């Protein structure tokens, strides 16, 4: 089981209910980790986990600013600093976002710094349950040089 990791959880408005369902489904695993969330999503996640906290689980949710106010950028900075282990970002691909540049910056930083990023529940479930968590697995560093044939 994944433990002691820092997991970023972000969901656009049209995907927040999907995120909450996913969080409840994976609550016992997620509560073994530190959750970093954008503001509104973080508040909803805290509320969704209240029953588990009453049952003795410890909630470890840190809320950043909301996405449009810079929360995506704050989480991107944490990625660059090596403080995020996994990012689950449920994006609303059907609605234009005024902070699209921040969204793309966060996704780019995850790719550059080799941070697993899931943009749907299926990939998030696969990443969260990977047998590689908790092992000595060390991902190779990405290389950025021109490919020579």
- Please give the positions annotated as active site: 72
For 149, counting Cβ atoms within 10 Å of its Cβ (0-12 exposed, 13-18 middle, 19+ buried), the class is exposed
- End-to-end alpha carbon distance in the chain: 41
Q: CA-CA distance, 93 to 37, in Å (whole number)? A: 19
Whether residue 5 contacts residue 85, with contact meaning beta carbons closer than 8 Å, is answered with yes
């Amino acid at each position: 089981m994944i433990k002691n990791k820092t997991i970023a959880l972000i969901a656009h408005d049209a995907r927040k209910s999907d995120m909450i369902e996913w969080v409840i489904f994976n609550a016992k695993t997620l509560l073994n980790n530190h959750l970093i969330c954008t503001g509104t999503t973080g508040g909803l996640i805290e509320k969704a986990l209240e029953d588990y906290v009453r049952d003795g689980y410890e909630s470890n949710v840190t809320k950043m600013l909301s996405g449009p106010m810079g929360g995506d950028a704050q989480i991107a900075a944490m990625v660059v600093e090596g403080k995020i282990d996994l990012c689950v970002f449920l994006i609303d691909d059907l609605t234009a976002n005024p902070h699209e540049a921040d969204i793309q910056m966060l996704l780019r930083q995850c790719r550059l710094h080799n941070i697993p990023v899931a943009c749907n529940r299926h990939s998030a479930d696969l990443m969260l349950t990977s047998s590689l968590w908790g092992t000595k697995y060390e991902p190779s560093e990405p290389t950025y040089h021109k490919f020579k044939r």
